[in-house]
Amino acid sequence: MAHIWTQNQQSDWAICPLRNDYHVLSPIPRDPVRALRAVRPDNIGVLLGRYKSQAGGENWILNCAAKAQVRVNGHPVYLGTRTLKNRDEIVLAGKSRFYFSTEELAVVVAFPGATEPVFCARCKDPIVKDSLAVCCPACGRWCHQTGKTLCWTYEPTCPMCDQPTALDTGYRWTPEEV
């Protein structure tokens, strides 16, 4: 799930998950990200909108009013619209900083199944629908994670990439690195 990193009044970074299709960004520190159920004409300012593709992916679009002073990665938002990418910096009115992120955490879930068989990236055995498994947030490969078959946490990294496999790892990137 995409999220926005926001800075609180103590300059600490916090995560705001983007659960709804629309969110308003505000330079007001006590309410920097507000979810909307629907977009109405009176929603002015800076709006984030999720648009789902037919292939199942999603894109996030930043829309802002003509008078809004918004920069993404240091550049003005021309024509009031910008497609966001992972780690984009958004600055409102020259002072409020946000970072957009698409990074996800590894979580154990019931495997949803697929039209074709899916094989565990570590042990190469098939993963059965509804069995517990982890989809690597970096490479998208699945691994078993049941009581007997702990393929995801067996080694410190995913067998296909460098994603850490500890389930309490947290996010690999934070704005503190900027």
Statement to judge: residues 26 and 13 lie in one domain: yes
Statement to judge: residues 110 and 73 lie in one domain: no
Statement to judge: residues 178 and 114 lie in one domain: yes
pLDDT at site 68? 83
Tokens standing for 2? 């995409």
Residue 167 contacts by C-beta under 8 Å, 6 or more apart in sequence? Answer: 106, 107, 108, 134, 152, 153
Statement to judge: residues 10 and 97 lie in one domain: yes
pLDDT at site 44? 57
pLDDT at site 8? 75
Statement to judge: residues 79 and 23 lie in one domain: yes
pLDDT at site 52? 87
In angstroms, the CA 34 to CA 85 distance is 20
Q: Is the pLDDT of residue 78 over 90?
A: no
Tell me the pTM: 0.84
Statement to judge: residues 28 and 96 lie in one domain: yes
pLDDT digits (tens, 9 = 90+) for 125-139: 999 999 999 999 999
Statement to judge: residues 93 and 23 lie in one domain: yes
Statement to judge: residues 69 and 115 lie in one domain: no
Statement to judge: residues 14 and 77 lie in one domain: yes
pLDDT digits (tens, 9 = 90+) for 138-168: 999 999 999 889 999 999 999 999 999 999 9
pLDDT at site 178? 76
Statement to judge: residues 114 and 178 lie in one domain: yes
Q: What are the C-alpha distances in Å from 2 to residues 18, 48, 90, 119?
A: 6, 11, 15, 27
Statement to judge: residues 88 and 119 lie in one domain: no
Answer whether 21's CB lies under 8 Å from 50's CB. yes
pLDDT digits (tens, 9 = 90+) for 80-117: 999 999 999 999 988 889 999 999 999 999 999 999 99
Q: List the domain range (segments joined by +) for residue 139.
A: 105-178
pLDDT digits (tens, 9 = 90+) for 6-63: 987 777 899 999 999 999 998 887 788 988 877 765 555 789 999 988 777 899 999 9
pLDDT at site 42? 56
| Structural domain count, the chain | 2
Q: Which of 101, 135, 166 is the last residue of a domain?
A: 101
Which CATH number characterizes residue 73's domain?
2.60.200.20
Q: Which of 101, 124, 149 is the last residue of a domain?
A: 101
Q: Which of 101, 122, 146 is the last residue of a domain?
A: 101
